[in-house]
Structure 1
Amino acid sequence: MTRILKTTIIAATTIVGVATSTLAGPLMDRIESGETIRIGFSNEVPWAYPGDNDAPLGFANVHALGVLKAMGYDNIEPVVTDWGGLIPGLKANRFDIITGGMYILEARCENIDFSEPMGIFGDAFLVPAGNPKNITSYADLRDQGATMVTGAGYNTIDAAKREGVAADQILEVPGPTEVLATMRVGRADAGAMTFFTAQNLAAQSDGALEVTDPNALPEWTQNWVGIGFRPEDSDFLEAFNAAQAEYLGSEEMLAAVAPFEYTNLQVPDPSVTTEWICQNR
């Protein structure tokens, strides 16, 4: 009788141990084994970009690092890649989290999981000084048959097509540096990107380029940014969301992101959830 009871206890303990281990995703396993949390981002000023020795700069990086610190994690490894390589890199396990300032969009939600939003933002156009073609919207591009340059994988590609801009009017380049170069040599009439990115590029143009009013674009072009995770790391994502709820909009957080142009105007309404965004963007 005692032997049977002992065997039952051992078996039950084994089952519980197996069940518990299945609750921990690959990222938590990695952390518990003493390895780094690898954060993936590209060169998107002021969102997320590398400093000296690839130090993670930009408000999306700084915010994510603040949340991770609040969770008790500071063993971080930056991984810099092209924008178009962020989602493939996450899925291929080249890094663990996307901190690059990525919009939460339905097509992306089908491939990765997002945290609850950390900010709300608008897009704009980079145009020649004086805006000679008066381009302020995708409709203007469509009606004039104008050429738009944007980054590969940017949300602005689908937004333009939704507004009737033909595919042959859209020039895709790797990222912001190439957008700026394209606009400088006059190969495109407008560069489509986030308002913050456009402002940064205009500042580098020595007065040759300016930024349009983001409010001239339809309301549906307003987007929310989240931090990206692999679906199998749902345990870590749940803990991240809980910590972010406390950190987002706090004095500590706003002070950390202030050097990168993020203000309390970008703090999202907490009633807008990632689930809703995935269904409506």
Structure 2
Amino acid sequence: MTFKLLNTLGAAAVAAVASSAAALAGPIDDRIAAGEPLRIGFSNIPIWGYPDENGDAKGFVNEIAIGILKKMGHDNVEATVTDWGGLIPGLQANRYDLITGGLYILNSRCENISFSEPIAQSGDAFIVPAGNPKGIQTYQDILAAEAVLAAGSGYNTVEAAKKEGLTDAMIMQVPGPTEMLAAVKAGRADAAGMTYFEAAHLANSDAAVDVTDPSALPEWTLNWVGVGFRDTDGDFLAEFNKALAEYVGSEEMMQAVAQYGYTKSTLPGGKTTEWTCSNR
């Protein structure tokens, strides 16, 4: 497989690249016909999607997406690491052809991009200072304690916190998990909301924080993960979904993602993107 990982560029460089690439931008099928690589955008999120020490795109969402593309016969792929908040805008601006990194299929996102069928399900959790001094397990606990929640900009936890009654003043939005961990450790936030995969990874890596019980949160915070596409790439997405149906849950896939803690309980079950867009 031909694979190249591109580093995130500065603002000026990104603008220059976007301008020079404009002639190549368009439906995925046009890029394939022109011999151009398929461009994956993802954010550096532990377990979900990240570059390893060799610069290769890792994480179970990248493994699954690249595995599906390979099954489709597409092995000319390059990937770019960007801020979480830049994934959907980058896709819409034709800087990427698909985006990974653990995007939950949410109604608010379905209004802007198209999603593959689900490839995983995941609950959320909080990281809190070791010992959980304020006894935080839920958003209502944060609200009652008038505490501060750190959340990644563009994360579903921002929507969830507001739905549970937290005000903007109680939500500290930061770029990603590194900044969320730093905010909790420095005492600038009392908890940080993220996927359970991220929270468990951070708690296992740093004794200064603990992870809360994801089952303490409401059922509606359970979410399903998909791969994001432009609305104009519907034909390619349909083919992607056909390959996905055969690949997700297969022995080959389960072996590829076992290293990330993805188990049978992580499989998406019977939920569809249509249902998830309507109910999340």
Q: What's 1:275 paired with? A: 274
TM-score normalised to the size of structure 2?
Answer: 0.89
Cα deviation digits, residues 122-179 of structure 1 (max 9, x gap):
0000011111111000000111111000100000001011011111000000001111
Structure showing greater radius of gyration is 1
Deviation, 1:65, is 0.7
Find runs of 4+ consecutive structure 1 residues off by over 3 angstroms: none
Paired residues of 1:54 and 1:80 also in contact (CA < 8 A): no
- Pairwise CA RMSD: 0.9
- Between the two proteins, what is the percent identity of the paired residues? 59
TM-score normalised to the size of structure 1?
Answer: 0.89
1:86 aligns with 2:115: no
Q: What's 1:6 paired with? A: none
How do 1:196-215 and structure 2 match up within 5 A? 196-205=197-206, 207-215=207-215
Paired residues of 1:42 and 1:49 also in contact (CA < 8 A): yes
Paired residues of 1:99 and 1:227 also in contact (CA < 8 A): yes
Q: What's 1:242 paired with? A: 242
How do 1:89-128 and structure 2 match up within 5 A? 89-128=90-129
Letter in 1 for 2:265: L
Deviation, 1:203, is 2.3
1:169 aligns with 2:167: no
Cα deviation digits, residues 54-85 of structure 1 (max 9, x gap):
31100000000110111011101011100000
Q: What's 1:257 paired with? A: 257
Paired residues of 1:42 and 1:50 also in contact (CA < 8 A): no
| Equivalent-residue separation in structure 2 for 1:238 and 1:45 (angstroms) | 29
Unaligned runs of 5+ in 1: 1-24
Paired residues of 1:54 and 1:78 also in contact (CA < 8 A): no
Secondary structure of 1:256's aligned partner:
helix
Unaligned runs of 5+ in 2: 1-25
Q: Which has the higher helix share?
A: 1
Paired residues of 1:149 and 1:192 also in contact (CA < 8 A): yes
How do 1:49-64 and structure 2 match up within 5 A? 49-52=50-53, 54-64=55-65
Secondary structure of 1:164's aligned partner:
coil
How many residues are paired up? 255
1:34 aligns with 2:40: no
